[in-house]
């Protein structure tokens, strides 16, 4: 039975639910409505496993990365006990922020009243608290999120009852087993702020149909849109497989020895729902780390990852810079397209459009999105 969602009619939802060959896009309200964004934050974003960092980004005990998720300041910390934790970075005393940016600490000392916490989040010093009845430093620890490490990615979940991350994506993991994702290292990061709904970016990432126009001189000559395909999925993920148009290997880093020839040549754009996006080609992974800000705003970090051993190659810095320039150029093409989409979604005459069979990954995603949004 089709249910009602804020701003979406049963008829609109029914069109999305049709088989791929008959299906429509999500309606504009799914992107524009603040009430829709509030519901998907509660039903999806705060109940999903979100990738926050790579383990190589906090390789040394004491390393940390600060982030903000849905109004909550957090930090990803490599503890001196060897454990990786995701915890609040607001002081338990008067809520001042304990840290910002990245760095390495033995203690997180509040700049307001000098309360100090170790890298496990335990309060170890609260000066001048004599006379505070029933107060004990040993009873004070920074709140933590559930955390998993998967293929070198550190993920966290606000939902204490969420199922583990790994089992539903095991088929996905096996698909890319030869790429050895756990051995990758972040070598360059690009950052962008955009005034669109986060799903506009995710959907753009999931299909090659737009190569024929948006990327007509960049991606399309190497990866023809008409040849792209999307396998069936058995979990919350999609894989866009783009076979290479030519037999020659693309220029750049040598492919991993573990890869078959087609794996070394072809391009993959993958999504683990809701927005864990990886572009995979040969020995390079581009991780699109998405931070929804509100219904019409997002922050994006694009991390370029390569096998750790490759980063020690002679001349690697120049290679990495070239990769960054190429990724930036491609993304700027997508920015132009997504700007146009966002303008159109805000237009009063805009209605749902028909999906192409080449947009199967979007169709898969939309079914999952509706399932989560319609859940009690």
- Domains delineated in the chain: 10-46+177-374 (3.90.380.10), 50-157 (2.102.10.10)
**DSSP characters over 247-259:** SSPPSSSPPPTTS
d(C-alpha 342, C-alpha 291), whole Å: 17
Query: What torsion, rounded to 10 degrees, do the Cα atoms 358, 361, 362, 366 define?
Result: 140
Q: Could you tell me the end-to-end alpha-carbon distance of the chain, in angstroms, rounded to an integer?
A: 14
Residue with tokens 């609040």: 88
Q: How many residues does the chain have?
A: 376
Tokens of 59: 């390789």
- Contacts (Cβ under 8 Å, ≥6 apart) of 8: 27, 29, 30, 36
**DSSP characters over 71-109:** TEEEEEEE-TTS-EEEEE-B-TTT--B---SEEE-SEEE
- Tens-binned pLDDT, residue by residue, of the chain (376 aa): 455 788 899 999 999 999 999 999 999 999 999 999 999 999 999 999 999 999 999 999 999 999 999 999 999 999 999 999 999 999 999 999 999 999 999 999 999 999 999 999 999 999 999 999 999 999 999 999 999 999 999 999 999 999 999 999 999 999 999 999 999 999 999 999 999 999 999 999 999 999 999 999 999 999 999 999 999 999 999 999 999 999 888 777 898 999 999 999 999 999 999 999 999 999 999 999 999 999 999 999 999 999 999 999 999 999 999 999 999 999 999 999 999 999 999 999 999 999 999 999 999 999 999 999 999 8
Query: What torsion, rounded to 10 degrees, do the Cα atoms 255, 289, 197, 42 define?
Result: 130
Are 2 and 10 in contact by the 8 Å Cβ rule? The answer is yes
Q: How many CB atoms lie within 10 A of CB 246?
A: 10
pLDDT of residue 3: 58
**Alpha carbon 128 to its chain's center:** 43
Tokens of 274: 């809701």
Q: How many CB atoms lie within 10 A of CB 340?
A: 11
pLDDT of residue 1: 45
């Amino acid at each position: 039975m089709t249910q009602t969602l804020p701003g979406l009619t049963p008829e609109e939802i029914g069109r999305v639910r049709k088989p791929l060959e008959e299906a429509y896009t999500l309606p504009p309200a799914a992107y524009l409505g603040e009430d829709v964004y509030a519901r998907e934050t509660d039903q999806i974003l705060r109940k999903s496993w979100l990738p926050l960092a790579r383990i190589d980004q906090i390789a040394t005990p004491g390393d940390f990365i600060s982030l903000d998720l849905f109004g909550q300041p957090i930090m990803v910390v490599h503890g001196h006990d060897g454990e990786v934790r995701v915890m609040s970075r607001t002081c338990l005393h008067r809520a001042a922020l304990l840290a910002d940016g990245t760095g390495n600490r033995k203690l997180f000392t509040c700049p307001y009243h000098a309360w100090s916490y170790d890298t496990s989040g335990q309060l170890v010093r609260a000066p001048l608290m004599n006379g505070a009845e029933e107060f004990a430093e040993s009873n004070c620890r920074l709140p933590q999120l559930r955390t998993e490490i998967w293929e070198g990615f550190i993920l966290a979940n606000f939902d204490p009852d969420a199922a583990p991350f790994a089992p539903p994506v095991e088929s996905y993991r096996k698909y890319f087993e030869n790429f050895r994702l756990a051995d990758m290292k972040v070598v360059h990061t690009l950052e962008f702020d955009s005034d669109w709904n986060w799903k506009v970016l995710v959907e753009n990432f999931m299909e090659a149909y737009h190569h024929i126009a948006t990327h007509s001189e960049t991606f399309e000559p190497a990866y023809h849109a008409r040849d792209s395909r999307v396998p069936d999925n058995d979990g919350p993920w999609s894989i866009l497989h783009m076979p290479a148009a030519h037999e020659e290997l693309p220029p750049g880093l040598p492919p991993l020895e573990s890869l078959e020839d087609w794996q070394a040549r072809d391009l993959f754009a993958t999504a683990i729902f809701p927005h864990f996006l990886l572009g995979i080609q040969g020995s390079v992974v581009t991780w699109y780390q998405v931070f929804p800000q509100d219904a019409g705003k997002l922050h994006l970090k694009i991390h370029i990852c390569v096998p750790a051993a490759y980063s020690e190659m002679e001349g690697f810095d120049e290679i990495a810079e070239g990769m960054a320039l190429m990724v930036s150029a491609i993304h700027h093409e997508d920015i132009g397209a997504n700007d146009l989409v966002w303008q159109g979604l805000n237009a009063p005459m805009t209605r749902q459009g028909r999906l192409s069979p080449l947009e199967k990954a979007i169709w898969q995603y939309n079914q999952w999105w509706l399932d989560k949004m319609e859940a009690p």
